[in-house]
Amino acid sequence: MHVRVAPPPEQILAELSSILPHLQHSLEAGTAKAHLIWQQHYEGEEMDPWLYSNITRHGAKKELALAGVFADYDTDQLPFSGLSLHTPRPSENGMLHIRIWKHGGADWSELPPPGTSGARLDFFSQEGLATDGISSDGDWNLILLWHLNSNGLLDSLSLACPQGGNSYRAQYYWHVPVPPAITMVPPAAQDAPAPDLNLVLNTPNVSEEPEE
Amino acid sequence: MIVGDRVRQARTIKGLTQKQLADLVGVRQPAVAQFEHGSRQPSPETLEAIAFATAFPVAFFSKEQLTHFPFGTLLFRGKTRMSERERTEAHELAAILYEAIETLAKNIKPLPIKIPLLSDRRPSDAAELTRSAVGLSPHGPVRNLIHHLESAGVCVIAAPKPLSNRDGFSAWTSTNVPVIALSPEKPGDRQRWSATHELGHLVMHRQIKDTTRNLEREADAFAAAFLMPDSSIRPEMGSPTTLVTLARLKPRWGVSIAALAMQASRLGALTDGQLRYLYVQLSKHGWRTQEPENLAIPIERPRAFKKMAELLYGIPVDVRRLAADLALNPGLLKDVLDVQAEGVQQRAKRQNPRVLGFKD
């Protein structure tokens, strides 16, 4: 049997470093939108987590599109009210298939279980990877979870590489926090240096010229 | 014959009390008080001992003071508390450095002072007029802020050691020179904010007509409008404005994320709730005090003092002769020169050291 070894999280985070700031921005924007709509239309009512998640993903999808990142509603086989996107790996052959879901559990490290859905079990066990029917050893399924704070706004993101599971419990190779996106924003480009200050002598030099 | 104030200056900059100085030089405290008051002259041996204890040359103590250098905004109530002793120490250090600049400037063609006096304008209007007066376009980020200030005749002093717990302060001297003194090694965005905040005081508050708390608010509003003009920055804030949006704007505008968030809130790009959320996010990661390394803004350094020294004492500056002419400690002057900007040629030389080739 062919045993697969999951790439380390540092490698995957590095491979995703150009896309993660867009994902964080879009989810921050999406949760802010959901928060605002809830305040405007449903103030005082108990929060409907499904509606809230759907408004969030709608807002996030729009923001991602503005940044040129194509994400689709995750409704095809995995109805988690999330988004899915597929991105080629920059340093390896293969694709990263990312499902973006809301973290629902109380425990940070907890992943949503795959349940009984065959499609979801395949996704968790790293089967059924390819969108085009062709998969390679470099293909990996990943789960990006967005964690909310007590006000319903984005608190943080975490990334997991699932390994399998059952109705009650998910198994994963690793599950790590995603570094805040602002730490990945490229540094400032060096400004053109200022021209020298336009100062000139107005009287004969009080001191002798220095020796050569 | 010594000038009493010089003993007080040297002692204060060294951070000594009269009693501590007295113990170091082998006299009683009232004697030091009398030296400082000018009612008694120290013996040559005592003067040598005072010079040694304070690290100032003997000649310094007989130098007449040139210009009255006021406390200026050091008297304002800042964000952090400052004891009388700390205030005096910061003031004396800046006063000595200003005097050194003033001495060298006697041999230099002066730059015209272009900053306006706008005591009756709103901070945003004053900022717009000041940008225009110093030759900046009304739109876009301010690059090389310190260079623009110096070119507009503002004397910018980079202190070689912290001005107590203040980022900076400003004053108009008795000879009508606008001065901004800045503490060293603050993050670049914070230094630019402090310099612009002090510029706001120079432009709007030469005559104090309000409580210092309100004056501080006005100076902050001036800094925000000067560094981030509403009409240019609003379209860049996008909608919705997130932490990532602001982080991307920081390198371009050279201001902190916290300042960008405040401006976004003022311009209606953020609700109060979103502003609170951003601040919570910044606090959670400790970014209220130190924003992420990757977003660091380079520190800008003033140039005038070093340029004048180069014109008068060569490149590299002959610090020994400069110190002798200014009656200051060469070590102090070297520290001051080290926190000044290099000229274009020296910078190019340092970045591209000459490669020695084979002879043809």
Scored b (16 or more CB within 10 A) or e, A43-58 reads eeeeeeeeebbbbbbe
Same domain, B157 and B284: yes
Instruction: Tell me the residues of chain B between 23 and 82 that have a Cβ less than 8 Å away from chain A.
Output: none
B252/A210 touch (CB, cutoff 8 Å), yes or no: no
Q: How far apart are CA B25 and CA B27, in angstroms?
A: 6
Same domain, B252 and B322: no
Of the ranges A125-139, B162-176, B192-206, which is most confident? B192-206
Tokens of B212: 């210092």
Tokens of B14: 């060294």
Please tell me the predicted confidence (pLDDT) of residue A193: 82
Q: How far apart are CA B304 and CA B14, in angstroms?
A: 25
What is the count of residue pairs from A and B with beta carbons less than 8 Å apart?
131
How close B12 comes to chain A (CA, Å)? Answer: 31
Give the residues across from A83 on adjacent strands.
A73, A100
Q: How far apart are CA A164 and CA A123, in angstroms?
A: 8
Residue to test with chain B: of A24, A148, A150, A185, most B Cβ within 10 A: A185
Nearest CB partner across the interface for B147, out of A39, A197, A199: A197
Q: In this model, does residue B125 exceed pLDDT 90?
A: yes
User: What mean pLDDT is reported for chain B?
Assistant: 91
In this predicted complex, what is the ipTM? 0.84
* Total Cβ atoms within 10 A of residue B48: 13
B151/A198 touch (CB, cutoff 8 Å), yes or no: yes
Nearest CB partner across the interface for A185, out of B108, B294, B311: B294
Q: For residue range A40-81, list pLDDT tens digits in order.
A: 888 778 777 788 888 888 888 888 888 777 766 655 454 456
Q: How far apart are CA B103 and CA A152, in angstroms?
A: 62
How close B257 comes to chain A (CA, Å)? Answer: 10
Same domain, B45 and B22: yes
B344/A209 touch (CB, cutoff 8 Å), yes or no: no
Determine the average pLDDT of the residues in B183-198. 92
Q: Does B134 touch chain A (CB under 8 A)?
A: no
- B116 lies in some domain: no
Helix, strand and coil in chain B, % to nearest 5: 55, 5, 40
For chain A, give every domain's residue range.
9-131+139-201
B240/A206 touch (CB, cutoff 8 Å), yes or no: no
**Contact indicator for A140, A126 with CB cutoff of 8 Å:** yes
Q: For residue range B245-286, list pLDDT tens digits in order.
A: 999 999 999 999 999 999 999 999 988 888 999 999 999 999
Q: In this model, does residue A127 exceed pLDDT 50?
A: yes
How close B281 comes to chain A (CA, Å)? Answer: 8
Beta carbons within 8 Å of B226's beta carbon, 6+ residues apart: B127, B130, B131, B142, B196, B199, B200
Q: Which residue of B has its CA nearest to A191?
A: B143
By C-alpha distance, which of B255, B264, B265 is closest to B234?
Answer: B264
B311/A149 touch (CB, cutoff 8 Å), yes or no: no
Q: Which domain holds residue B325?
A: 304-351
Instruction: Tell me the residues of chain B between 162 and 201 that have a Cβ less than 8 Å away from chain A.
Output: none
Residue to test with chain B: of A19, A35, A37, A196, most B Cβ within 10 A: A196
Same domain, B289 and B318: no
- B359 lies in some domain: no
Q: Which residues of B touch A199 (CB under 8 A)?
A: 108-109, 111, 304, 307-308, 311
- B291 lies in some domain: yes
Q: Which residue of A has its CA nearest to B271?
A: A36
Same domain, B278 and B129: yes
Span of A148-152, B27-31, B185-189, B346-350 with lowest mean pLDDT:
B346-350
Q: Which residues of A touch B285 (CB under 8 A)?
A: 180
pLDDT band at B357 (very low <50, low <70, confident <90, very high): very low
Same domain, B279 and B308: no
Q: Does B344 touch chain A (CB under 8 A)?
A: yes
Please tell me the predicted confidence (pLDDT) of residue B356: 47
For residue A82, CA distances in Å to A55, A59, A74, B22, B240 come to: 10, 12, 5, 76, 20
Q: For residue range A191-204, list pLDDT tens digits in order.
A: 778 889 999 998 65
Same domain, B188 and B283: yes
Determine the average pLDDT of the residues in B93-97. 93
B243/A189 touch (CB, cutoff 8 Å), yes or no: no
A25/B318 touch (CB, cutoff 8 Å), yes or no: no
Determine the average pLDDT of the residues in A107-122. 84
- B360 lies in some domain: no
Indicate the residue among B13, B37, B64 that finishes a domain: B64
Q: What's the domain count of chain B?
A: 3
Please tell me the predicted confidence (pLDDT) of residue A45: 81
**Contact indicator for B296, B188 with CB cutoff of 8 Å:** yes
Determine the average pLDDT of the residues in B74-88. 78
Span of A89-93, A180-184, B228-232 with lowest mean pLDDT:
A89-93
- B236 lies in some domain: yes
Same domain, B257 and B315: no
Instruction: Tell me the residues of chain A between 122 and 161 that have a Cβ less than 8 Å away from chain B.
Output: 149, 151, 153
Strands laid side by side in the B168-172 sheet: B155-158, B178-182, B168-172
Please tell me the predicted confidence (pLDDT) of residue A48: 79
Instruction: Please tell me the number of Cα atoms within 13 Å of B62 on its side-chain side.
Output: 8
Same domain, B290 and B312: no
